[in-house]
Amino acid sequence: MNAIWLLMGLLVLSYLGSSLVSGRVLRGIGLPSGAEYVVLGFVLGPSALGLLDPPSIAAFEPLVGVALGWLALVVGLDFGFVGSRRVRPSRIALGVLMSLATGCSVAVAVWFAVARGVPSLDPADRTLLAAGVGAVSAETTRHAVLWVTQRYSASGKVSDLISDIADCDDLGPLLMMGGVFALVPQATSLWPIPFWGWTIVTALIGVVLGLIAVVLLGTDFRLIQSWGVLLGTSLLTIGASARVGLLPLFATFSMGVTIAAVSRHRDEIVAMVAPTERPVILPSLLLAGAHLSPKAAPFLPWVVAIALAARVAGKLTTGLVLRVASPDARETSPLLGAGLLSSGAVAMSVGLAFSLRFPGPIGATVLFTAAAAAVFGEFVGPPALRATLRKAGELAAPERESLFFGRGLARAARDPARDPARDPTLIEGGGPPGAGRGEA
């Protein structure tokens, strides 16, 4: 497949994503993590059917970088908010610390395992590998929480707590991966700067350009001018950070957080950009799947296995800590952490950014770990979260339904006369990735 046909396919997939959030089709279609598009990309990629050849995939790498940066901007604009409700600072801190604790525990486990199993690997490469795997293992995707709470009409203190935690833990993997990129910056300076200094520089790039965007947006919100300001400043942020070898995703995330915190037009901006998230996510996940290579490194299978085991242990442990730290979670199941195992677009984005910045066995291992965590979490996370909310008494009585479709279709299957296409009130499926931001 040449680049033109691949471009056409990505545009069709982007249009499909736009339709899924426009209200013209059922909202219950799709898995919360978007893992099916990663699997589709892998099947079509060089490691399986080979319909997507490496030169065609490589031609889209600059566009992938821009797409990932834009996704991070959208996530940053929504950071600290669940819909229009602002998350309490204590819960923001708790969510970030929980994700960092999980990511660091995975990184430590992988570092010691690689030190013992692959002693020939350079210490610097070992650090990159361990930190990268830890970063892609830290997230709990908010889409899985929305998927369960909307599909089963869950509401209550535990539902709000888990939604807040999942909404705020995106900072953890982005901060860790920002530090990883800062270990090997391409820029030079008059004075030596440690990696944590370069991490701060990455955030400052986003903060400064975010403030510039706020000034340019002004006091009078106008849709057309606002698109120009956001697109221009985001591209400048992506280009400036990539030029010096830092993480563009962390820079644009910082830019989004700055705009949301300072601009008086935060709600209008979120409503404007939220519908663009899923149309960008789907092609990005497809290309991420096409980059997967299970034979890229001899140590890849057991590194992935160790990372998954450490991620499960880390999430279970942080779940126990959450039960102690928050009064709202003390009556929940001790397996609360299992409901936080779902990962999604943020983990895949930082994994893909890592593989593009560090091509080779290390980058391929990190990206494959992100994909494995997303697929594994799809089987474990939503059922465990559903069981947790049921025990807390916040789950509505479930109806028979399929994996990909909501209750409206299941009801129509029992009574064909009640077709969701004829009666929009029957469409009650859970939201796909990105549905919760603009519609909350």
**Residue 292: predicted pLDDT:** 93
pLDDT of residue 212: 94
Asked if residue 414 has pLDDT above 50, the reply is no
Name the average pLDDT for the chain: 83
CATH 1.10.20.10 fits 3-435, yes or no: no
pLDDT for residue 265: 87
pLDDT exceeds cutoff 50 at 23: no
Nearest 5 degrees, angle CA 26-CA 32-CA 34? Answer: 95
User: For the residues 360-375, what does the mean pLDDT come to?
Assistant: 94
Delimit the domains of the chain by residue range: 3-435
The more confident residue out of 223 and 207 is 207
Q: Give residue 213's identity as a one-letter amino acid code.
A: A
Six token digits for residue 268: 């209008």
- Is-contact 326 317, C-beta < 8 A? no
- What does the pLDDT look like over 48-106, one tens digit per residue? 888 888 888 888 888 899 999 999 999 999 998 887 788 999 999 999 999 999 999 99
